[in-house]
Structure 1
Amino acid sequence: MSAAPILDRMRAGRPAIGLTVRLTRSGEIARVARASGHDFVRVDLQHSLLGAEAVGHITQTALGCGIATLVRVRSVTDPDVPALLDAGVSGIVFPDVETEEQARHCVRVCRFAPLGGRSYGGGYPLFDYRPVPPAEALPALDAATLVVCMVESVRGLANLERIAAVPGVDVIHLGVSDLLMSIGHAGETGHPAVAAAIDRVVEVATAHGRYAGCGGSPTVAHQAEAIRRGVRLLTTRNDLNFLVDGATAWADALRAAS
């Protein structure tokens, strides 16, 4: 499963929604994502202790059940990016991209020449590990890979135009939680700056032929509003939140009824 289904939905003007993975190490989470109506899983290495092998297991299950796998790496310079892509990950989400130079680095490690500098290794899951001539494999792998740059700070917003203009970037993804901390309004998701930032990301991304993404919105209503404003790549919540909320609601209901 490449990034193609995500791109198909966004090209058609429909949102692609993802389930964030922070806790689950089993590939079964990909099937849970599919059963619950998500289009992809986003494994969050930035805020978890998950390792590359766990990502590999999740990715292999996702490949077999029609769910794409995106990975938010630990930083723009995370050294595991090439290995994650070789393992079949559909795209890389780079956190806290603040400059054009950082965006160019993101593209360089994810794309093959001439746009980037990714090394060609052969034996890719996209082709079921069958040998495929490089002339055929390289463009197919590039087309199957999503490059997502998260903008999460005042500095990132100031450089938004330059980041979006970098060839090879697919999505400009607004990180609401960290942006609010950046402007001194942590947790205030109803702050006018959030709506203004979403509108600006949508406008700039669209002008440069990219797609707008959004994460960190705490409610269905807030996420639905982001979609109405033009966001096309969106993460709902993480597995840990869903587990705690679901278990708490069930236990509270049982105690209230007994």
Structure 2
Amino acid sequence: MLALTAKGGTIVIGLLKQIIKTGRVTEQYDSGTMPSRFRGQLVHEESLCLKCQVCRDACPTGALEFNNNQLVVDNNACIFCGRCVEVCEHKALSHTTEYRLATLTSQLSAKIRATLQRSLHIRHVDAGSCNACDWEMTALNNPIYDLQQYGIDFVASPRHADMLMVTGVVTRNLEQALKMTYDAVPAPKLVMAVGSCAASGKIYGESYAIRGSAGKIIPVDIYVPGCPPRPAALIYGLLLALDRLGGNSK
């Protein structure tokens, strides 16, 4: 017994030494820089564009359109694959490292913002995702991002939630479950569409098995584009909805 106790004490001391050596790992969502290979917001240099529309034809999700001979980018549908950049011979398109692309709808009233100033409880709903967005959401609870430092946490029951975070294109089999979960959340409530599938539904389109984007089934207040969006982008969307960004909002 003494030998086991001594061994356990040695292990604990070793862990404490490692923690001290590692130091603090938690960071603010916008404190780090994106790696050079990261593909963020797509930007367009008008002076270099010849309106050949090759980029539009190369886009697999229809995120690029020419309106009145001007290129329009639908960030909610963009999966940042880089195909449009590759096919543009005139180098008019490029990806930046900007990840703060979350947007709010006009239905997000000041009353809801004021109600949710102190804390936010989230219920996640997977409506038919590939799990990429879900993995990024899981990272929100690790020591690096530590979502709880913002007073935000995930809950098991929609009846305890203030917000639904929906991932994936809405499938026929999960449409009813999504509606019932939304109805179970007490008012006032928010809905965040996480990732390009939930935000636009254009990646898979529509079929007998697919209903489309989350906004076609339930009211959506916040859109966070990406395939998948980084944890920092998700935190930006959450803080944007809660009006806690101060001078960092775009």
Q: What TM-score comes out, normalization by structure 2 length?
A: 0.31
Please identify which structure carries the higher helix content.
1
Q: What TM-score comes out, normalization by structure 1 length?
A: 0.31
Larger Rg: 2
Greater RCO, 1 or 2 (C-alpha within 8 Å, sep 6+): 2
